[in-house]
Amino acid sequence: MRLDGFGLLVENMAKMIRFYRDVLGFEIKEEELEPWGQRTCYIADPEGNLIEIGSWNKPFEEKDAGR
């Protein structure tokens, strides 16, 4: 089995980016706001495996209230 990547949902995107970049030395790839309201960035380990980090700008109940 090969793991190409996985995702994490976090509360504090900036704190997690600093941890992976500054403490662990991971490369950060393009932080962006997705059309559905999730902030997403990717970090790459030394072998190129990607970890997706996502965070919602609003609490789950608020973002789904309009459905």
pLDDT digits (tens, 9 = 90+) for 10-60: 888 888 888 888 988 888 877 788 888 888 888 877 777 788 888 876 544
Mean pLDDT of the chain: 75
Nearest Cα residue to 54 out of 65, 62, 43, 66:
43
Residue bearing the bigger pLDDT, 67 or 27:
27
* Predicted pLDDT at 3: 61
pLDDT at 15: 87
Q: Tell me the backbone φ, ψ of residue 21, rounded to 5 degrees.
A: -80, -50
Q: What is the pLDDT of residue 58?
A: 54
Would you say residue 67 has pLDDT above 50?
no
Residue 59, token pair as written in the block: 């609490």
